Structure 1
Amino acid sequence: MNNSKRPINIHKGYHAHVYFDQETLDFASELCEEAGEKFGLKVGRVHQKLVGPHTKWSCQITFGRKSFDEFIPWLDENRGGLSVLVHALTGDDLADHTKYAYWLGDSVEINLNGL
Protein backbone atom coordinates (compact mmCIF):
# COMPACT_ATOMS: atom_id res chain seq x y z
CA MET A 1 0.00 0.00 0.00
CA ASN A 2 1.38 3.38 -0.96
CA ASN A 3 -0.47 6.14 0.82
CA SER A 4 2.65 8.18 1.39
CA LYS A 5 3.72 11.68 0.47
CA ARG A 6 6.05 12.18 -2.48
CA PRO A 7 9.27 14.11 -1.79
CA ILE A 8 9.12 17.87 -2.25
CA ASN A 9 12.06 20.26 -2.51
CA ILE A 10 11.32 22.77 0.25
CA HIS A 11 14.18 22.13 2.71
CA LYS A 12 17.92 22.90 2.72
CA GLY A 13 19.09 19.37 3.48
CA TYR A 14 17.82 15.81 3.28
CA HIS A 15 18.58 12.19 4.01
CA ALA A 16 17.43 9.40 1.74
CA HIS A 17 17.32 6.03 3.51
CA VAL A 18 17.31 3.14 1.07
CA TYR A 19 15.74 0.08 2.72
CA PHE A 20 16.74 -3.45 1.78
CA ASP A 21 17.04 -7.02 3.06
CA GLN A 22 19.39 -9.96 2.49
CA GLU A 23 17.96 -10.63 -0.99
CA THR A 24 18.33 -7.02 -2.15
CA LEU A 25 21.61 -6.23 -0.34
CA ASP A 26 23.85 -6.27 -3.44
CA PHE A 27 21.39 -4.22 -5.51
CA ALA A 28 20.96 -1.63 -2.73
CA SER A 29 24.73 -1.38 -2.20
CA GLU A 30 25.31 -0.74 -5.90
CA LEU A 31 22.44 1.77 -6.04
CA CYS A 32 23.83 3.80 -3.13
CA GLU A 33 27.37 3.68 -4.48
CA GLU A 34 26.18 4.81 -7.92
CA ALA A 35 24.16 7.66 -6.39
CA GLY A 36 27.23 8.89 -4.55
CA GLU A 37 29.40 8.77 -7.64
CA LYS A 38 26.85 10.15 -10.11
CA PHE A 39 25.68 13.07 -7.96
CA GLY A 40 28.71 13.64 -5.69
CA LEU A 41 26.68 12.81 -2.58
CA LYS A 42 27.79 11.56 0.82
CA VAL A 43 26.80 7.90 1.22
CA GLY A 44 26.83 6.28 4.63
CA ARG A 45 27.45 2.67 5.56
CA VAL A 46 25.30 -0.12 4.19
CA HIS A 47 23.88 -1.26 7.53
CA GLN A 48 23.02 -4.96 7.79
CA LYS A 49 21.40 -4.25 11.15
CA LEU A 50 18.74 -1.91 12.50
CA VAL A 51 20.06 1.60 13.10
CA GLY A 52 18.27 4.49 14.80
CA PRO A 53 14.54 4.60 14.07
CA HIS A 54 14.80 2.33 11.02
CA THR A 55 12.99 -1.02 11.18
CA LYS A 56 14.80 -2.45 8.14
CA TRP A 57 18.42 -2.57 7.01
CA SER A 58 19.32 0.74 5.36
CA CYS A 59 21.86 2.97 3.71
CA GLN A 60 21.76 6.74 4.16
CA ILE A 61 22.45 9.24 1.39
CA THR A 62 22.86 12.91 2.38
CA PHE A 63 21.93 15.61 -0.13
CA GLY A 64 20.73 19.19 -0.40
CA ARG A 65 18.17 21.19 -2.33
CA LYS A 66 20.60 21.78 -5.23
CA SER A 67 20.82 18.02 -5.93
CA PHE A 68 17.15 17.30 -5.22
CA ASP A 69 15.58 17.92 -8.65
CA GLU A 70 18.04 15.63 -10.45
CA PHE A 71 18.67 13.07 -7.72
CA ILE A 72 15.11 12.22 -6.58
CA PRO A 73 13.70 11.36 -10.05
CA TRP A 74 16.86 9.31 -10.76
CA LEU A 75 16.55 7.48 -7.42
CA ASP A 76 12.85 6.81 -7.99
CA GLU A 77 13.53 5.44 -11.47
CA ASN A 78 16.47 3.25 -10.38
CA ARG A 79 15.38 1.98 -6.96
CA GLY A 80 14.08 -1.29 -8.40
CA GLY A 81 11.09 -1.54 -6.10
CA LEU A 82 13.01 -0.72 -2.90
CA SER A 83 11.34 1.59 -0.40
CA VAL A 84 13.16 4.86 0.21
CA LEU A 85 12.47 7.29 3.05
CA VAL A 86 13.37 10.86 2.10
CA HIS A 87 13.26 13.26 5.03
CA ALA A 88 14.25 16.83 5.77
CA LEU A 89 17.12 17.78 8.05
CA THR A 90 15.61 20.55 10.15
CA GLY A 91 17.26 19.75 13.48
CA ASP A 92 14.01 18.31 14.86
CA ASP A 93 14.39 14.54 14.49
CA LEU A 94 10.77 13.78 15.35
CA ALA A 95 9.37 16.25 12.80
CA ASP A 96 11.93 15.12 10.20
CA HIS A 97 10.75 11.49 10.49
CA THR A 98 7.01 12.34 10.58
CA LYS A 99 5.85 15.73 9.25
CA TYR A 100 8.80 16.05 6.82
CA ALA A 101 8.99 12.36 5.83
CA TYR A 102 8.40 11.49 2.18
CA TRP A 103 8.49 8.16 0.36
CA LEU A 104 9.58 6.59 -2.88
CA GLY A 105 7.70 3.31 -3.03
CA ASP A 106 5.86 1.80 -0.10
CA SER A 107 6.29 3.34 3.32
CA VAL A 108 8.08 1.38 6.04
CA GLU A 109 7.29 1.65 9.72
CA ILE A 110 9.61 4.03 11.61
CA ASN A 111 10.30 3.50 15.33
CA LEU A 112 9.75 6.96 16.81
CA ASN A 113 10.43 5.95 20.43
CA GLY A 114 14.00 7.24 20.52
CA LEU A 115 13.43 10.51 18.65
Structure 2
Amino acid sequence: MNDADAPYHAHVYYVPEQRDQADALRLRLAAMKQSGGMPGLLFVGQLRDGKAGPHPISQFEFHYLKRTLPTVLEILEGSGLTALVHPLTDDDLADHTTLATWIGDRIELDLSTLDPPGQNKGVPRFGKTDF
Protein backbone atom coordinates (compact mmCIF):
# COMPACT_ATOMS: atom_id res chain seq x y z
CA MET A 1 0.00 0.00 0.00
CA ASN A 2 1.44 3.39 -0.87
CA ASP A 3 1.40 6.23 1.65
CA ALA A 4 -1.52 8.05 -0.06
CA ASP A 5 -3.63 4.92 0.46
CA ALA A 6 -2.84 4.65 4.19
CA PRO A 7 -6.01 4.16 6.26
CA TYR A 8 -7.29 6.96 8.51
CA HIS A 9 -10.17 7.48 10.92
CA ALA A 10 -11.85 10.60 12.24
CA HIS A 11 -14.07 10.66 15.31
CA VAL A 12 -16.44 13.62 15.61
CA TYR A 13 -17.64 14.24 19.16
CA TYR A 14 -20.84 15.91 20.31
CA VAL A 15 -22.78 16.71 23.45
CA PRO A 16 -26.59 16.47 23.43
CA GLU A 17 -27.08 20.08 22.35
CA GLN A 18 -24.74 19.51 19.36
CA ARG A 19 -26.40 16.30 18.16
CA ASP A 20 -28.25 17.98 15.27
CA GLN A 21 -25.04 19.74 14.22
CA ALA A 22 -23.12 16.44 14.30
CA ASP A 23 -25.85 14.68 12.34
CA ALA A 24 -25.86 17.44 9.71
CA LEU A 25 -22.08 16.95 9.28
CA ARG A 26 -22.51 13.18 9.13
CA LEU A 27 -25.20 13.52 6.45
CA ARG A 28 -23.00 15.94 4.49
CA LEU A 29 -20.13 13.45 4.57
CA ALA A 30 -22.42 10.57 3.56
CA ALA A 31 -23.69 12.62 0.60
CA MET A 32 -20.11 13.40 -0.43
CA LYS A 33 -19.25 9.71 -0.26
CA GLN A 34 -22.28 8.72 -2.31
CA SER A 35 -21.69 11.39 -4.95
CA GLY A 36 -17.95 10.82 -5.16
CA GLY A 37 -17.45 14.42 -4.03
CA MET A 38 -14.67 13.33 -1.69
CA PRO A 39 -12.55 10.64 -3.34
CA GLY A 40 -10.95 8.46 -0.70
CA LEU A 41 -13.87 8.72 1.73
CA LEU A 42 -14.79 5.08 2.30
CA PHE A 43 -17.22 4.85 5.22
CA VAL A 44 -19.42 7.14 7.33
CA GLY A 45 -20.71 5.62 10.57
CA GLN A 46 -23.83 6.25 12.60
CA LEU A 47 -24.18 8.62 15.52
CA ARG A 48 -23.22 6.74 18.68
CA ASP A 49 -24.92 8.36 21.66
CA GLY A 50 -22.90 7.71 24.79
CA LYS A 51 -19.58 5.97 25.39
CA ALA A 52 -18.17 3.69 22.67
CA GLY A 53 -14.78 2.05 23.02
CA PRO A 54 -12.20 4.62 24.14
CA HIS A 55 -14.56 7.50 23.36
CA PRO A 56 -16.18 8.74 26.59
CA ILE A 57 -18.86 10.87 24.94
CA SER A 58 -21.11 10.60 21.92
CA GLN A 59 -19.37 10.47 18.55
CA PHE A 60 -19.45 9.16 15.02
CA GLU A 61 -16.53 7.95 13.00
CA PHE A 62 -15.64 7.99 9.35
CA HIS A 63 -12.89 6.24 7.41
CA TYR A 64 -10.82 7.62 4.55
CA LEU A 65 -7.49 7.36 2.80
CA LYS A 66 -4.58 9.62 3.74
CA ARG A 67 -4.82 11.46 0.41
CA THR A 68 -8.16 12.84 1.67
CA LEU A 69 -6.66 14.25 4.89
CA PRO A 70 -6.39 17.92 3.77
CA THR A 71 -10.08 18.00 2.80
CA VAL A 72 -11.08 16.20 6.02
CA LEU A 73 -9.13 18.68 8.14
CA GLU A 74 -10.70 21.64 6.35
CA ILE A 75 -14.22 20.29 6.86
CA LEU A 76 -13.66 19.40 10.50
CA GLU A 77 -11.96 22.69 11.35
CA GLY A 78 -14.99 24.53 9.95
CA SER A 79 -17.54 22.33 11.73
CA GLY A 80 -17.29 23.84 15.21
CA LEU A 81 -17.17 20.31 16.65
CA THR A 82 -14.35 18.53 18.44
CA ALA A 83 -12.71 15.79 16.39
CA LEU A 84 -9.90 13.27 16.69
CA VAL A 85 -8.09 12.43 13.46
CA HIS A 86 -5.67 9.53 13.37
CA PRO A 87 -4.01 6.96 11.13
CA LEU A 88 -5.00 3.34 11.47
CA THR A 89 -1.89 1.25 12.15
CA ASP A 90 -1.22 -1.93 14.08
CA ASP A 91 -0.71 0.20 17.24
CA ASP A 92 -4.14 1.29 18.50
CA LEU A 93 -2.68 3.19 21.47
CA ALA A 94 -0.31 5.25 19.33
CA ASP A 95 -3.10 5.88 16.80
CA HIS A 96 -5.22 7.51 19.50
CA THR A 97 -2.38 9.36 21.26
CA THR A 98 1.02 10.17 19.74
CA LEU A 99 -0.10 9.86 16.11
CA ALA A 100 -3.42 11.66 16.62
CA THR A 101 -4.42 15.22 15.79
CA TRP A 102 -7.14 17.01 17.75
CA ILE A 103 -9.43 19.66 16.34
CA GLY A 104 -11.10 21.65 19.10
CA ASP A 105 -10.80 20.77 22.76
CA ARG A 106 -9.00 17.53 23.54
CA ILE A 107 -11.15 14.87 25.23
CA GLU A 108 -9.68 12.42 27.73
CA LEU A 109 -10.01 8.98 26.14
CA ASP A 110 -10.39 5.67 27.99
CA LEU A 111 -7.10 4.16 26.84
CA SER A 112 -7.75 0.93 28.76
CA THR A 113 -10.14 -0.22 26.01
CA LEU A 114 -7.57 -0.02 23.20
CA ASP A 115 -6.10 -3.09 21.56
CA PRO A 116 -2.52 -4.10 22.40
CA PRO A 117 0.17 -3.28 19.82
CA GLY A 118 -0.01 -5.61 16.85
CA GLN A 119 -3.68 -6.47 17.40
CA ASN A 120 -5.67 -3.44 16.22
CA LYS A 121 -9.22 -4.74 15.61
CA GLY A 122 -10.00 -1.57 13.66
CA VAL A 123 -7.79 -2.65 10.76
CA PRO A 124 -10.08 -5.47 9.48
CA ARG A 125 -13.18 -3.28 9.76
CA PHE A 126 -11.60 -0.28 7.99
CA GLY A 127 -13.96 1.07 5.36
CA LYS A 128 -16.70 -1.38 6.35
CA THR A 129 -18.12 -0.84 9.84
CA ASP A 130 -17.79 1.22 12.98
CA PHE A 131 -18.41 -0.14 16.46
TM-score bracket, normalised by the shorter chain, equals 0.7 to 0.9
Displacement of 1:10 after TM fit?
8.2
Residue 17 of structure 1 is aligned with which of 7, 11, 16?
A: 11
Distance 2:71 2:96 in 1: 23
The answer as to whether partners of 1:11 and 1:88 remain within 8 angstroms in 2 is no
Distance 1:37 1:10 in 2: 23
Q: Which runs of 4+ in 1 moved over 6 A?
A: none
**Greater Rg over alpha carbons, structure:** 2
Distance 1:99 1:88 in 2: 10
Computed over aligned residues only, the root mean square deviation of the Cα atoms, in angstroms, reads 1.9
% identical equivalent positions: 36
> Corresponding residue for 2:100?
101
Does 2:61 correspond to 1:45? no
Using a 3 Å threshold, how does the CA distance of structure 1 residues 10 and 98 change in structure 2: closer, same or farther? Answer: farther
Using a 3 Å threshold, how does the CA distance of structure 1 residues 101 and 10 change in structure 2: closer, same or farther? Answer: farther
The code of the aligned residue for 1:36 comes to A
Structure with greater strand share of residues: 1
- Return the structure number with greater relative CO, CA threshold 8 A, min gap 6: 1
What secondary structure is seen at the aligned counterpart in 2 of 1:94? helix
The answer as to whether partners of 1:11 and 1:89 remain within 8 angstroms in 2 is no
Say how many residue pairs are matched: 105
Distance 2:76 2:82 in 1: 11
The answer as to whether partners of 1:55 and 1:109 remain within 8 angstroms in 2 is yes
Displacement of 1:75 after TM fit?
2.0
Using a 3 Å threshold, how does the CA distance of structure 1 residues 36 and 60 change in structure 2: closer, same or farther? Answer: same
Q: 5+ residue gaps in structure 2?
A: 33-37, 115-131
Distance 1:112 1:16 in 2: 17
- Structure 2 length-normalised TM: 0.73
